[in-house]
Chain A
Amino acid sequence: MNTELSRRSFLKASGALVVSFSAASLIEPLAFAPFARAQGPFATHASHIDPTKLDSWIAVASDGTVTAYTGKCDFGQGIYTVQTQLVAEELCVALDTVKLIQCDTSITPDQGTTSGSQSTPTNFNNANLAQAAATAREALIAIAAQKLAIPADQLTVADGVITAKNGSKVTYRELIGGKHFDLTLNPTAKRRSHSKWTVLGQPTPSLDTVALMTGTFEFVHNVHVPGMVHGRVVRPPESGATVESVDEKSARHIPGLIQVVVRKNFVGVVAEKQWQAAQAAKDLKVTWRPGPTLPAKRDFYNYIRKQPSRQVLLVDSKDIDAKLNSATHVLKATYSHPYQAHGSIGSSCAVADVHPDHATIWSPTQSVYPTRHSISVLTGLPLDSVRVIFVRGSGCYGLNAADTVTSDGAILSQAVHRPVRVQLTRQDEFISENYGAACVIDQRAGIDASGSIIAWDCETWSVSLGGRPGYDKPGNVLTGMLAGLEAETITPREAVEPKGELNNGSNAVPSYVAGCIGGKCGGAGSIRSERVLVHAVKSPFFTGPLRSPLRLQNTFAHECFMDEICAHVTADPVAFRLQHLSNPRVIDAVKTAAKAANWEPRPSPKPANSRTGPATGRGIACVAYEGDNGYAALIAEVEVDEATGRVQPKRFVIGHDCGAISNPEGLRNQIEGGILQGMSRALGEEITWDDRKVTSIDWQTYNTLPLGIEVPAIEITLLDRPEAEAIGAGETAITLVAAALSNAIFDATGARLREVPFTQERVKAALAGPVAAQRS
C-alpha cells in the first residue's frame, strides 16, 4: 500500500471533521506538514514522522509565522507556553508569532507519553524540539549568508529578520516561507546562550489564561463533531464482576436510544442526547456474576507483604546485617501509604469517530501514539488508519480515566457507525481510573556511638496491576480488560545482584546512602552500608502513575525515618541531614530552605509544647527527585489541635532546583499547586473499599480539600541554574509534603504519623500511643 498517498487522502477526508478550533490551526500546517515527507528509518514507534528531520518539528509559513510540532502536551502544567517560549527564543521571533501544534498522531512526532516530569528534560536541552529550533535558526542564518553574500558571523537576527552590518536585511518569510527545510537535525547546533535569553527564562503568563478565564477555551468536553451522538458506560457494580446477561429490552423505552453495546464485559449505551444516554445507562438491566472477594482493607498492608512478589535489589553492600549487629542502636519503623485517586475535577470524556476504514479520536490522553495502538487493537483497524488528536481534559496528574474513556468511545462509535462522545460519570471515573499505588515500607538503621548512621536497610512492598497501555497493552486500563484484553500483572521473581548504574527512578533508595554498585556510587548520601529491596505484588485494583508515583510514598518513608533517627540521637533535623548528604544540589536546597524559613537549630520534638491545646511545630524533608531529575527541600509549619487531632498547615517554605528555569512564573504556579495537592493527599485522600467494591466514588466519600480552606503561606526560593540541564519540576515539590507534615506534627506533639493520610482519628491515636520508633 502506498502509505503516503493513503495518508494524504485520509487526512483530507478526516480534516473535514476536525473541530472548529483545530480546523483553523491545522489547515495551514497541513499544507506542508511533515507527514507528506515520510521516509525511514524511524527511531520511534512506527510513526511516519521522522524525528531526525527538521521539517517534522518546525515550519515557517508563507506569512513568516512559525509553526512548531511537539509530542508533549499541556494538561494545565504549562508545557504549551514554555515550549512556545523555547521555539520563539531559539528562532529569535516574538512569542505571538509561534503556533505550537501538540500531540496529533498525523502531524506531530512520536514523543511517547507526556509524563514523569520528562517533557522539560526531553525537549529543553540538546535534543528534540530545542535542537530542532536551534538547527532551524542556524540554517536560516546560513541561507541568509549565502543570499546576502555576507559571512554568517556578521549577521544578527531579531524578530524573524536577519540583518547585516551594512544594513541589508532578509526575513525568514523571504528565505523559506511555505517551503521545506529538507535538513536533518544538527546535533551540534548551538542553543542560544542563556545570557541572551529574552523570552525563555522570563516570567511569562500562560498563553491559555485569557481563554480559560473567559470560558472560551476548548476542552475535549467541548468537542462537537457533525452527527455526534452520546454514549455512557455501564461499569461492573463490583470489582471484578463479569457480565452474565444484558436485558436490552430494559432500556428500549428511552426515547432517542440508538443501541445497547456489549462486548464481553464492556457494556455501554448510545443515544441521540446525553440525557437519554444517562437514563438508558441507569435503566439498563445487567446481570453480573460477582468477582472474587477483595482483601480486607483494614489488614491490607499485612496482606501485601505475604503475596508472591517480583523482587528487585536496587543496592546491596552485603554487610548490612553485620553492620546492624555492630551498631550501638538499631532503629526500626514501618510506614504505609494508601491507594489514592487522581480525582480529576472533570470526569473524563472523549469523542471517537470510527469508520470501516479509518478512525479519528479526540482524546485527553497523555499518550497519543500509544493510544493509537490501543484503538487499533480494539477496532481492528491498521495503525496508520487511526488518528488520535489530543484535546485537553481537566488536569490529570497521571493516568486518570482519560485512556480508558478513549477506548470506551472507540468501542461505542464502531458499534453504532456514528461519532460518539462519551462522558464518564463521577462514579465511573472513580472506579475506572488507575489508582496511585498503595505500599508499605520497612526501615532499619544502625547508629554508632557517636550518633552517626552507619547502615540503612529498606524493604518496600507496592502493588501493581495494569498501568499505561503503552504500545502493546490496551488491557492495562479498565475498558481494554473489560473488552477481553489482558492487563500487565506481576510475575514473581527472586531478586538478583544489582548491576550497572544505580537506578533511583522511584526514589526507593534513601538520599542518605552512597548508592554504590560495583564501586560506582550514584547515591545522594554518604552511608556505605546499604540495602534496598523492593517487592512488587499484584494489586486487586488497577494502578498507574499518580503525580510522583512511588517517589512520594518512598520519600515519605525515608524522610520520616530520617527524622525519627534525628530525634533518637537528639540532633537538629537540618544539621543531621547535611551530615549524611553528599549531593551538592540537595545540600544546597536544604540550606536554602532552612535559611528562608529562619530555621532554629534544635532537636524535635519542640520542648515547650504540652499535650493540651493547639501545638505548633516545623518539619523538613528533602529529595533528589528520581535521583537526578529535580532537587528540593521543603519545610512545613503546622498547628495541631490536640483535642480534635486536626492538623492545620500554616506555612510552607521550599528551596527548589530544576536546573535552567524556562518560565519562573509557571514554575511557581506548579510548585504552589504541588504543595497544596500534596497537603490534600497527606491529610485526607484515601481509596476505600468493602469486601466487594470500591466505596470512595464521589466527593463525599473521597476526601479532598476544597477551595475554602485556610490556605497556608507558601514561600518559594528558586535556585536557578541556567548553565545546568533543564530538568523536571512538576512532581518534585509534592514528593516532600507528606514527610514534611509528619515531621512537623512530630515536632509539635511528639506523636509520629507513619500512615498516610493523617486523618484526625489517626492523629489522635498517635497522640495517645507510643511516640518513638522501635528500638532494639
Chain B
Amino acid sequence: MPALSLKVNGEVHPVDVDLQTPLLEVLSDELHLRGPKFGCGLAQCGACTVILRGKAVRSCVMPISAVKQDEVTTLEGLGTPEKPHPIQQAFIDEQAAQCGFCLSGVILTAKTLLDENPKASDDQIRQSLSNVLCRCFAHVRMMRAIKRYQANRA
C-alpha cells in the first residue's frame, strides 16, 4: 500500500492505507481522533463532518486520496478542553447537546457557514443545517448556541 502523509489539525501523519479508504476511517482508526464519528456512512447525517479547504465535508464518503495535501480540521482541532474555540464555548454555555454524537456536523457546519458569511440570516443558517441530524433533538439549544457565537464574533 502506498504511504501518504495526511495533515490533520496542524500535524502531519504518515498513513499507510488503501487509497479508497474513507477519510473518516483514517482519522478514527489510524489517528485515534474522536471528533468525527460514523453515523451513516452515506453522507446523510453529518456526524463525520470535518473541515477541508474551508468547507464542511462528510469524511465517511471521501476517499483518503481526495484529501491530497490539504489540511483536515476536526472538532478537536478547533480548540481544547482548556481553551475551547468560541463556537465550542457557545455550545458549552448553552448546554447544546444530549448524547453529543452529532456535534461535528452541527458545530463545523455552522462554523464554516459563519466564517464565510458572518451575517448569515436565520434562514441561511437553517438552510445550511438542512442535512444535519441530531436525533436527541437538542435543536433549541443548538440554534441558540449558533446565534450566540454569531453575535459574539461580530
Contacts and interface: CB of A to CB of B under 8 A. Distances in A.
Contacts of A205: 92, 95
B21 to A, nearest CB: 4
A210 B98 CA distance: 12
Contacts of A669: 95, 98, 138, 141
Contact of B133 (A216, A230, A347, A704): A704
A255 B132 CA distance: 34
Interface in B10-37: 17-18, 20-22, 25, 28-29, 32-37
Given A218-B34, A395-B99, A698-B42, A704 B131 contact: no
Interface string A276-288: 1000000000000
A224 B25 CA distance: 13
Interface in A685-741: 698-700, 704-711, 714
Contacts of A711: 139-140, 143
Contacts of A216: 34, 76, 81
Contacts of B95: 205-206, 209, 665-666, 669
A675 B136 CA distance: 10
Contact of B38 (A75, A221, A705): A221
A471 interface: no
A392 B98 CA distance: 12
B25 A215 contact: no
If over half of B's interface residues share one DSSP class (helix, strand or loop), that class is named, otherwise mixed; here it is: loop
Contact of A344 (B131, B135, B141): B135
A708 B127 contact: yes
B126 A275 contact: no
B69 to A, nearest CB: 22
A213 B44 contact: no
Interface centre among A75, A218, A708 (most CB of B within 10 A): A708
Interface in A44-60: none
A344 to B, nearest CB: 6
A443 B119 CA distance: 53
B114 interface: no
Contacts of A698: 40, 42, 44
A700 B44 contact: yes
B45 interface: yes
Contact of B29 (A273, A392, A674): A273
Contacts of A77: 98
A675 B98 CA distance: 14
Nearest to B106: A707
Nearest to B91: A213
Interface residues of B, number: 64
B44 A699 contact: yes
Interface in A398-446: 423, 425-426
Contacts of A394: 37, 39, 47, 99, 101-102, 135
B150 interface: no
Contacts of A218: 34
A23 to B, nearest CB: 15
A62 interface: no
A643 interface: no
Contacts of A707: 106, 129-130, 132-134, 139, 142-143
Contacts of A710: 126
Contact of B17 (A275, A349, A393, A672): A275
B128 A708 contact: yes
Given A273-B17, A708-B130, A345 B39 contact: yes
A709 B129 CA distance: 8
A303 interface: no
A115 to B, nearest CB: 15
B51 interface: no
Contacts of A392: 99
Given A214-B75, A346-B101, A275 B136 contact: no
Contact of B39 (A347, A665, A673): A347
By size class, the interface of chain A is 35 or more
Given A708-B128, A710-B126, A217 B34 contact: yes
A76 B139 contact: no
A700 B43 CA distance: 11
B104 interface: yes
Given A224-B32, A394-B101, A215 B140 contact: no
B100 interface: yes
A141 interface: no
Contacts of B57: none
Contact of B100 (A217, A221, A677): A217
Interface string B99-124: 11111101100000000000000000
A343 interface: yes
Interface in B45-82: 45, 47, 74-81
Contacts of A322: none
Contacts of A255: 18
Contacts of B44: 426, 698-700
A76 B99 contact: yes
B21 A273 contact: yes
A710 B39 CA distance: 23
Contacts of B40: 347, 426, 698-699
Nearest to A734: B137
A711 B21 CA distance: 37
B100 A208 contact: yes
Interface of A: 75-78, 205-206, 208-219, 221-222, 224, 230, 255, 273-276, 343-347, 349, 392-395, 397, 423, 425-426, 665-666, 669-670, 672-677, 679-680, 698-700, 704-711, 714
15 contacts: A75-B99, A215-B36, A216-B76, A274-B25, A275-B18, A345-B99, A345-B136, A395-B99, A426-B41, A706-B129, A707-B106, A708-B126, A708-B131, A711-B139, A714-B140
Given A215-B34, A273-B17, A345-B133, 19 more contacts: A76-B98, A206-B95, A209-B92, A209-B100, A213-B97, A214-B75, A214-B88, A215-B36, A346-B37, A394-B47, A669-B95, A669-B138, A669-B141, A672-B140, A698-B44, A706-B133, A708-B127, A709-B126, A714-B140
